[in-house]
Structure 1
Amino acid sequence: MNFIELFLIAAGVSMDAFAVAVCKGLSLKEMSWKNAFIIGLYFGGFQSGMPFLGYLLGSQFMDAINAFDHWIAFILLGSIGLNMIKEAFSPGLDDCGDSSLHPKQMLMLAVATSIDALAVGVTFSFLKVQILPAIILIGITSFVLSALGARLGNRFEAQFKSKAEFFGGLILIFMGTKILLEQTLGG
């Protein structure tokens, strides 16, 4: 998997965190760069840690499913993408929660937004992706997008949130389809 493909996946899985960061920015009365940095650290940290855990988990089963790993990658990335698109059109997206950065709340949000990244990590193990550069790229991308999302959310409307999830979902579906076609067509 090349850098551009990894970056697209990083951007795709970061969209949930971006969307929640926009929402968090909407709920906070004042958004300093320090608060944006804190939000970015939570989301970037979990978005990079969960693919690593998924990679370790997937590595345990790699030999048993090597013949159809591309189908698993397609199904996982496609399912995540479709779920993100569905969430983009869900009516409950305007509820941004309370206006605090309490560690317990931020931890729950970071875990919730990074579950998809766990599945991506499983996919990485099947595709034999070098995990260290991948999780660094995902972490940095998620950190930057989340910090910027919090700042933007504090200034603009909630409409960014659903658009981010929609485009993130499309990216993941595209990447899953690309992996499937490359493996089945020998490209």
Structure 2
Amino acid sequence: MSAYQIGEIVSLIFMAVALGMDAFSVSLGMGMQKVRLKRIAMVGGVVGLFHIMMPFAGILLGQAISEQIGQYATLSGGLLLFGIGAQMIFSAFNHESKQLAQPVGIGLIFFAISVSLDSFSVGLSLGLSEVKTVIALLLFGAASTILTWIGMLLGKKMHGLLGVYSEILGGSILCGFGLHILFG
């Protein structure tokens, strides 16, 4: 494996963790509700599945767009990643209380969609570049599943201490990758 391939995989791992931070921070709050371990396992699995489906749809759309915009694809992808990261950072400072949906039935689907929407946009920007799709999707799904589980389990132990900071960290990582694509 070449140094370039290793660097690409490491970058994808950091990006996967950054995308999973949103699920982690929301899961902290959800974990403070009385949630059984079986439900925690299911919630993490569904969130992971959506973190595979949403960026896959974004990658497909991004690849279709990249054929149309050609030379502007890299610039668009970098700007999109930076914008998503900045939005995550700014939303962390939004102090309005959020009503958490119960992680059951349709509430679980809405929860999974809400924490995976940013992964659609990241998938779109990755589709504009030439990323290894299967590796990216598996890393996104695994990271979000694990971070959701960790968030819910920690939420059972502590009360909202890390929520905002994890979202800021995730947003900062995405901003950094966007700047790296633009200027690196």
TM-score, normalised to structure 2's length? 0.91
Checking the alignment, whether the CA contact within 8 Å between 1:23 and 1:96 is kept in structure 2 is no
Checking the alignment, whether the CA contact within 8 Å between 1:40 and 1:142 is kept in structure 2 is yes
Total equivalences in the alignment: 178
Match of 2:177 in 1: 175
Match of 2:94 in 1: 90
Question: Which residue, 126, 129, 138 being the options, matches 2:128?
Answer: 126
Aligned-partner Cα distance in 1 for 2:86–2:168: 9
Aligned-partner Cα distance in 1 for 2:88–2:161: 15
Spell out the pairing of 1:55-94 with structure 2 (5 A cutoff). Answer: 55-92=59-96, 94=97
CA gap of 1:22–1:13, structure 2 versus 1, over 3 A, is: same
> Does residue 24 of structure 1 match 2:30?
yes
Aligned-partner Cα distance in 2 for 1:59–1:3: 20
Question: Which residue, 8, 18, 26 being the options, matches 1:2?
Answer: 8
Checking the alignment, whether the CA contact within 8 Å between 1:19 and 1:160 is kept in structure 2 is yes
- Counterpart residue identity of residue 70, structure 2: N
Aligned-partner Cα distance in 1 for 2:99–2:28: 9
Deviation at 1:103, TM superposition (A): 1.4
Stretches of 4+ aligned residues off by more than 6 angstroms: none
Question: Which residue, 48, 51, 60 being the options, matches 2:52?
Answer: 48
Aligned CA RMSD, in angstroms, stands at: 1.4
Aligned-partner Cα distance in 1 for 2:69–2:27: 36
Alpha-carbon deviations, 1:25-62, whole Å to 9, x = none?
A: 01x22x43322211211211111110000011111111
Spell out the pairing of 1:93-172 with structure 2 (5 A cutoff). Answer: 94-97=97-100, 100-172=102-174
Match of 1:185 in 2: none
Spell out the pairing of 1:33-44 with structure 2 (5 A cutoff). Answer: 33-44=37-48
Aligned-partner Cα distance in 2 for 1:101–1:113: 13
Match of 2:4 in 1: none
Alpha-carbon deviations, 1:97-146, whole Å to 9, x = none?
A: 25x32111110111111111011111111111011111001000000000
Structure 1 alignment gaps of length 5 or more:
183-187
Structure 2 alignment gaps of length 5 or more:
1-6
Deviation at 1:2, TM superposition (A): 1.0
Deviation at 1:151, TM superposition (A): 0.5
TM-score, normalised to structure 1's length? 0.90
Deviation at 1:163, TM superposition (A): 0.7
